[in-house]
Amino acid sequence: MYFNVKPLIETSPETDIEVLTEEKEQNQIIVHNDDVNTFDWVIESLIDVCDHTPEQAEQCTLIIHYNGKCDVLTGEYTYLKPRCEELLNRGISAEIV
């Protein structure tokens, strides 16, 4: 005994769907710990330069202190470059990777 079962959704194997995605390389600003800058200065700088919330800046600062470094901002290189330069101008050890 055979049942004629029809699928609930009909699909056609001839249908090709092309999805165009443009992947842009994501970089990160890494801030390194030092013995010069105060917690308050680093927190203030992350708020001003990287648009962090006070809580986010404080958490990043603690990670920097205890782990030696922290990625504080991710994005395209052209977006990160002026922010990294401003952190460097403020005496904060930062790099883009």
Per-residue pLDDT reduced to its tens digit, 56-90: 999 999 999 999 999 999 999 999 999 999 999 99
Q: Sorting pLDDT into bands at 50, 70 and 90, what band is 95?
A: very high
Q: Kindly state the average pLDDT of the residues 13-41.
A: 83
Residue with tokens 């699909």: 11
Measure the CA–CA gap between 25 and 16, rounded to whole angstroms. Answer: 28
pLDDT confidence of residue 13:
60
Note the Cα 62 to chain centre separation in Å: 18
Residue 28, burial from CB neighbour count under 10 angstroms (0-12, 13-18, 19+): middle
